[in-house]
A and B are shown apart, each in its own frame.
Chain A
Amino acid sequence: MNILKLLDKLSDDSFFTKQTSRLDNLSDLSTFGKKAAVAALPLGLGSFMATSAKAETKTEPTLAMKSALTDALQLALTLEYLEDEYYRIGLLTTNLIPASDKVVFQQISKHEAAHVTFLKSTLTSLGVTPGAKPTFDFTANGAFTPFTNYQQFLTLAQAFEDTGVRAYKGQAGNVMSNGTVLQAALQIHSVEARHASMVRRMRANKGWIELANGGNMPAATNPVYNGEDVTMQAGFNTATAFGAAAGSAAYDEVLTGTEATAIASLFID
């Protein structure tokens, strides 16, 4: 089609909300690819245009698209259930969190509880029953003792928050069909990042992730940081100006739905 007309349509919000071809293609191409990482997609309008002919014929969101959206929210809900319960137990455990640090975890806990409520009501409003809270095992089969050892409590808190940041980001493409949901997801995503920065700094780390190094973290948490050392963003070398540590820290990377689920599953009975 005429490139002028296409660009005109691309700038039109109503067209945007109906643009579904990319997600359709993803689920058509592979049944397991519904949560495919958007990060793998090439940058540029060129790739977008390749699917435009199909997009033009769409009039409303497809089932596949709605499913991608609500699947993404269910994954987010699982992660929020996990964080909510973790901080709830931590705050209720006597002699775990020092008095000086309590206010921080009370603030974080308040937000995670709100996120659970928010995601449940969003799913319900989209006509989908929110998933039930799983049974969590925060020892990961005996590997951790977060509720008797404050340093381990901090370590897992950092892992959960850094995971949350990456997991929400990985779902951006799956929720972008609904502008309202996308914005809310972004508003949760940045809260997770504020939390992550704080917990990291309480562990004497920087608030941001340099290279793929979580910062004094056990090997079991490596999946949380794998791939964070990227220094090439859409063809731009972020390491050129100030080195790879700064270049990688300036960008947080995504986790795919599969990767995020695998991390959460370590803590689900």
Chain B
Amino acid sequence: MKKPINVSNQGATLDTSRRNFLKLSGIGIAVAGLTLVGCDDDDFEYNDNKIFDLGMGDVGVLNYAYALEQLEADFYTKVVNSFYAGISTIEKEVLTDLYHHEVIHRDFFKAAITGATTNVLPTLEFQYPNVNFNDRSSVLATAKALEDTGVAAYNAAGKYITNPAYLVLAGKIVSVEARHASAIRDLINPLTAAFSGDDVVDPVTGLDVAKEPKDVVAAAGGFIKTPFTWKERGIN
């Protein structure tokens, strides 16, 4: 376990095939193991029906994060493809950066999960029935909800991760989500307490929100068209 991880980036593109990614990331052993398990119907009965189940253990958490990052990336892609009228330079810069970060997160999870299991969440479809992409306050309010939800989701899901390396990776991402949330909140209510308002950070304990998976999926459910389950965490 003292052996350093030596990874090469050669050929690692966003759509790197699973086998290539394995070789590059040096996690082939784990994948071989998980692939074997995936063949055993008794242990993976959750996937017997047609609705995708996020899976068990760390794989489930990774797929869960991937689902949330898919949603955020999809949303900001729509935002930057057609900015709302009258957008300021600073707002354009912030929203473009958020688009970049969330697409990177999404593609990272796709590659990481593909390297670790065959149980990879497919590309989800989303809908935004109550969002007016041409309206500043509608876009920013939605961005705020998504970023706050992302923070709360990662904060609660950390304890379900068993592999310390995955936990650190989730930690590297969640703090960036919190930076986003703070910036969006400040765009909506500049130079106030809103960037870490009492509605998200408990004023007595100083703790940010943590939301269990079933509550997160219930909150984000209106955006997600493609159904999935996470039976291990009570999402059926």
| Chain A interface (Cβ < 8 Å from any Cβ of B) | 3-4, 7-8, 10-11, 13, 16, 19, 22, 25, 29, 38-51, 100-101, 103-104, 106-108, 110-115, 117-118, 165, 168-169, 172-173, 176, 179-180, 182-184, 186-198, 201-202, 206-208, 232-238, 240-242, 246-247, 249-254
Q: Which 10 interchain pairs have the tightest Cβ spacing? A: A114-B206, A235-B25, A44-B27, A46-B29, A11-B57, A193-B178, A45-B30, A197-B179, A197-B182, A179-B159
Question: Given the complex of chains A and B, what is the CA–CA distance between A201 and B13 in angstroms?
Answer: 33
CB-defined contacts of A251 to chain B, threshold 8 Å: 172-173, 176
Nearest A residue to B204, CB-CB = A114
Question: Given the complex of chains A and B, what is the CA–CA distance between A113 and B173 in angstroms?
Answer: 26
Nearest A residue to B173, CB-CB = A251
- Contact across chains for B176 and A183 when beta carbons are under 8 A apart: no
A-B pairs with beta carbons under 8 A, tally: 300
Give the shortest distance, in Å, between A248 (CB) and chain B (any CB). Answer: 10
CB-defined contacts of B97 to chain A, threshold 8 Å: 206, 208, 246, 249
CB-defined contacts of B181 to chain A, threshold 8 Å: 194
Give the shortest distance, in Å, between B155 (CB) and chain A (any CB). Answer: 5
Question: Given the complex of chains A and B, what is the CA–CA distance between A16 and B105 in angstroms?
Answer: 26
Nearest B residue to A237, CB-CB = B9
CB-defined contacts of B74 to chain A, threshold 8 Å: none
Give the shortest distance, in Å, between B159 (CB) and chain A (any CB). Answer: 4
Q: How large is the interface on B (under 10, 10 to 19, 20 to 34, 35 or more residues)?
A: 35 or more
Q: Can you spell out 7 A-B residue pairs with CB atoms less than 8 angstroms apart? A: A51-B1, A186-B154, A194-B208, A197-B180, A206-B93, A233-B172, A252-B176
CB-defined contacts of B196 to chain A, threshold 8 Å: 107-108, 111, 191, 194-195, 198
Interface of B is mostly: helix
CB-defined contacts of A50 to chain B, threshold 8 Å: 1
Question: Given the complex of chains A and B, what is the CA–CA distance between A183 and B167 in angstroms?
Answer: 11
CB-defined contacts of A113 to chain B, threshold 8 Å: 206
Give the shortest distance, in Å, between B37 (CB) and chain A (any CB). Answer: 6
- Contact across chains for A19 and B162 when beta carbons are under 8 A apart: yes
Query: Does B7 belong to the interface (CB within 8 Å)?
Result: yes
CB-defined contacts of B209 to chain A, threshold 8 Å: 187
- Contact across chains for A110 and B158 when beta carbons are under 8 A apart: no
Give the shortest distance, in Å, between B166 (CB) and chain A (any CB). Answer: 7
CB-defined contacts of B94 to chain A, threshold 8 Å: 206-207
Known: A8-B43, A10-B57, A42-B5. A187 touches B207 (CB 8 A): yes
CB-defined contacts of A115 to chain B, threshold 8 Å: 206
